[in-house]
Amino acid sequence: MTVSTYRDAWGIPHLKASDHLRLAYGQGENAARDRAWQIEVERHRSQGTTASFLGSDAVAWDRFARQARLDDTARRCFAGLDEETAAWVGAYVDGVNAGLAEGAAAAPEFAAVGLAPGHWQPWTPLGVWLAHHILFAGFPTKLWREEVIRRLGEEAAELFATDDPGTAGSNGWMASGEWTATGAPIIPGDPHRFLQDPGFYQQIHLSCPEYDVVGFAVAGVPGIAHFGHTGSVAWAITNAMSDYHDLYRERLRPVSPSGDGGFEALGPDGWRPARHHREVVEVADGAPVEVDVIETDRGPIVIGGRVPGDPQEPEPTDGPGRVSLRYPPRVTGDLGFATIPALMRARTVEDVDRALDGWIEPVNVVHAADTAGGLLHRVAGYVPDRHRDNGLRIVPAWHAGHEWRGPLATPREDAAAEGLAVMANARGIATPLGVEFAPPYRARRIEALLRESREWTAPAMSTVHMDTLLEAARPLLAAVGRLTGLSAGAERLRERLMAWDLRMDAGSRTAGDYARLRSAVTRRIASSPQLRPLATTLPYPSVFQPWLTLTAKVAFALENLLTTDLLPGLPLTGILRASLEEVAREEPLAWGASHRLAPLRALPSGGPFGNTFGGPSGEEGPGLGGDHDCVLATSSTPGVTDLSSRGPSARYVWDLSDRDRSLWVVPLGATGVPADAHHRDQLPRWLRGELVPVLTDFAGLVHERTSAPEALPAEAVRSR
């Protein structure tokens, strides 16, 4: 009883096993050998122990992970799994533990920080998933709204209502056989996440008698959840932009004057016991840090997590006070992991649909198609039914009416009506479940491009993936077009911008002009007197600061600020004129000269590695086309940096006429080992918009190794 590893020309692992448990073992062993540093960092992130080797810069995350109780929630969710799924996850963990020593020996990062590979627990993959997605729903946006209202007034609540791309997003689309050259459906797309080295998504092929599936795995997590093709059915997701995490302002008091009797929290039914203990975060370059872990009936306190010193201590008046987080896996004891094996066994869209009924987090919009012509377009995940204010801001824990009343029904649409369906984080099928969504530009552009042909093929879909048209530029250009009294240089710049084709191509100097103008306008608006109350570091933990930076908020709400009167007195004409004159004095540069790829690596500050590009060697990443509102969504933060650390973390085209006509690519390569030939070999293809073939015939692959693991029964997994 064995599991064998094969590789294709791109080093992509293809695993074949005698049963699904040995296959899970093999997937875990492969993840440990190919991605040892990556998955060990994620294990520590889920436990809140990264500062022990990454240093003081990681303390903020470790504190949050512990206060949010990520590891404990993962343990609860594992305990709630059915026996079969628990055995499957446990077999994966055994494979990880079997492969870590070999993987760590090939990964220079371990020696650089003096870290030895650790031991994975049965629930660790669930913790890794939670650590990746605990901020996915963007609940820190509620903190931003709270501060906007507190500092600028209720009338400014919608001032920044245009959604920024944040850390997540995606394009996805589906064309029925009526729109393709083969007469079979095609599902292409590209998930947008932080670009990492190694990449977030791992291309993989998993084969056993129960299923044979290709797709993108998350390193450290068994199976294929988000994007897969079983031969007869394929599925893909995008972020539904739903709101399913809540924040509650809490009041605490000690039970006794000394505090030895514990603490209570005020809820709608009066004072109730709050659970409290203290943990210690070890720090590689500093003293240990104590963390108070407090949980009320709403959830764990993640902001202001200090305990009151005596019954008379007044509630904090500066900042939010104590704030608890309520999130579905903590409430339900379920992450939806039983869905993953069911997806891999799917043969039809009906199978995919049934499997997704059990999905919890994150909440996704799903496309699926099968070889019989079946199509599926639905939302999957847990969104609580509760008061509308819960979705907008921090709500008082002691007021009735803010409780959860169970999950809302997830919407679905008839994807067969026109044979086309597009998902790009904009308002649409998921509208009833969210508050803010991505602007409609990407979704509209994808649909317009699809309607240009009824003979689509898998290779031709790259023209959609790589489209750089920026419709979002029109409001700023229209405002610039109305300016008068410009210098000769500014007038020439304006003429170039007015004649521009709106394409954010890497080699376009006019795209570079536009980007510099947008940044100049953003910075001037952010520094205006009207926004001065927000131009400070807001009183929240640093882990939330990416959602709380005024310049970034202005950048992604720029259209709203240019076209509404929500900020009275803003001298827009003067800001636009000064910005245009500023850019006119600068030497024109192509957009790709500053808009460069900057993948992230988890390494200590000042360490010997740095980021993949721009590290100690001085190497710069390649120039990129695209922008956050282009289909080619290589995001930067206007006014802050043109570097792109967010963007397409994979591209795929699932072809239902023949799975081996499908295509895929990742930004760097299949492995995370820097010295490996497949660490960056897909980067040139990714930059050009090309994809590599999906191969599933083992006869055309190179055999690498065979293992003979012992399968673990479910009882053994449970008892560990």
Measured CA to CA, the distance from residue 365 to residue 445 in angstroms comes to 18
Distance of CA 227 to the CA centre of its chain: 14
The verdict on 263 and 129 lying in the same domain is: no
User: CA-CA distances (angstroms) from residue 219 to 1, 44, 101?
Assistant: 25, 14, 16
Coil vs helix vs strand at 291: strand
The verdict on 348 and 381 lying in the same domain is: yes
User: CA-CA distances (angstroms) from residue 442 to 189, 324, 351, 467, 578?
Assistant: 12, 35, 30, 10, 30
Q: Are strands 412-413 and 420-423 parallel, antiparallel or unpaired?
A: unpaired
Return all residues near 270 (Cβ < 8 A) that are at least 6 apart. Answer: none
Q: Kindly state the tokens that stand for 697.
A: 């015939």
Omega before 362 cis (within 30°)? Answer: yes
Residue 622 lies in a domain: no
Measured CA to CA, the distance from residue 590 to residue 642 in angstroms comes to 12
The verdict on 388 and 359 lying in the same domain is: yes
Q: Across the 720 residues of the chain, what is the mean pLDDT of every consecutive 10-residue run?
A: 94 97 98 98 98 95 98 98 98 98 96 95 98 93 93 86 60 97 98 94 98 98 98 97 97 81 92 96 96 97 78 54 97 97 98 97 97 96 96 96 95 86 94 93 97 98 98 97 96 98 98 98 96 92 93 93 85 96 96 96 65 58 96 96 96 98 98 96 98 97 90 46
Measured CA to CA, the distance from residue 210 to residue 223 in angstroms comes to 13
CB 44 within 8 A of CB 128: no
Q: Kindly state the tokens that stand for 599.
A: 């993948």
Distance of CA 444 to the CA centre of its chain: 22
- Secondary structure in 3-state letters for 468-506: CECHHHHHHHHHHHCCCCCCHHHHHHHHHHHCCCCECCC
Q: Kindly state the tokens that stand for 691.
A: 């994809």
Measured CA to CA, the distance from residue 9 to residue 203 in angstroms comes to 13
Residue 196 lies in a domain: yes
The verdict on 298 and 442 lying in the same domain is: no
Which of 303, 326, 349 is a domain's end point?
326
Residue 145 lies in a domain: no
Residue 667 lies in a domain: yes
The verdict on 67 and 175 lying in the same domain is: yes
Measured CA to CA, the distance from residue 143 to residue 544 in angstroms comes to 9
Residue 591 lies in a domain: no
Distance of CA 619 to the CA centre of its chain: 26
Q: Name the helix (H) or strand (E) containing 83.
A: helix 83-106
Residue 87, Cβ density class (10 Å: 0-12 exposed, 13-18 middle, ≥19 buried): buried
Return all residues near 656 (Cβ < 8 A) that are at least 6 apart. Answer: 184, 185, 186, 187, 233, 234, 369, 370, 371
Residue 483 lies in a domain: no
Q: Which domain holds residue 253?
A: 246-326
Which CATH number characterizes residue 278's domain?
A: 2.30.120.10
Residue for token pair 């890497």: 506
Residue 597 lies in a domain: no
The verdict on 269 and 416 lying in the same domain is: no
User: How many structural domains is the chain composed of?
Assistant: 2
Measured CA to CA, the distance from residue 229 to residue 213 in angstroms comes to 6
Measured CA to CA, the distance from residue 82 to residue 151 in angstroms comes to 49
Residue 459 lies in a domain: no
The verdict on 91 and 185 lying in the same domain is: yes
Return all residues near 3 (Cβ < 8 A) that are at least 6 apart. Answer: 15, 16, 17, 18, 22, 23, 25, 26, 29, 706, 707, 708, 709
The verdict on 109 and 255 lying in the same domain is: no
* 201 bridge partner residues: 218
Which CATH number characterizes residue 213's domain?
A: 3.60.20.10
Residue for token pair 């998955």: 39
Which of 326, 342, 369 is a domain's end point?
326
Of 632, 698, 687, 629, which Cα lies nearest the Cα of 660? 698
The verdict on 85 and 230 lying in the same domain is: yes
Omega before 198 cis (within 30°)? Answer: yes
pLDDT of residue 507: 98
The verdict on 106 and 176 lying in the same domain is: yes
Return all residues near 348 (Cβ < 8 A) that are at least 6 apart. Answer: 232, 233, 370, 372, 374
Please say whether the dihedral angle defined by the alpha carbons of residues 235, 35, 646 and 334, taken in this order, is positive or negative. Answer: positive
673: number of Cβ within 10 Å: 21
Which of 294, 326, 358 is a domain's end point?
326
User: CA-CA distances (angstroms) from residue 178 to 183, 185, 420, 454?
Assistant: 6, 8, 9, 7
The verdict on 378 and 439 lying in the same domain is: yes
The verdict on 125 and 177 lying in the same domain is: yes
